[in-house]
């Protein structure tokens, strides 16, 4: 029973540590190969309907290039 409690506590600690990273809003973990940008894709779904944050970034980029 003690092994179960220790294992549960370790897993709970790891989940809480990951949650702190999400709450802090840090940059997501990136792959060493460059991720989707390395193959010329911006996002996995093709971004046919980008989120408001992405639309604002795209608008800012378009205004900066003109």
Q: What percent of the chain has pLDDT over 90?
A: 23
Is 50 in contact with 58 (CB distance < 8 Å)? Answer: yes
Domain assignment present for 15: yes
Q: How many domains is the chain partitioned into structurally?
A: 1
Q: Is residue 52 part of a domain?
A: no
Answer yes or no: is 5 within a domain.
yes
Q: Give the DSSP letter of residue 20.
A: H
Q: Has residue 20 been placed in a domain?
A: yes
Question: Residue 56 domain-assigned?
Answer: no
The model scores a pTM over 0.75: no
pLDDT per position as a tens digit, 40-63: 666 655 566 777 887 788 788 888
Q: Domain for residue 10, yes or no?
A: yes
Token pair, residue 48, equals 């046919």
Domain that holds residue 6: 1-25
């Amino acid at each position: 029973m003690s092994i179960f409690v220790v294992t549960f506590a370790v897993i709970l600690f790891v989940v809480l540590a990951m949650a702190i990273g999400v709450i802090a809003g840090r940059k997501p973990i990136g792959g060493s190969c460059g991720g989707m940008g390395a193959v010329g894709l911006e996002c996995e779904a093709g971004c046919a309907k980008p989120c408001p944050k992405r639309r604002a970034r795209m608008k800012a980029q378009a205004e900066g290039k003109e």
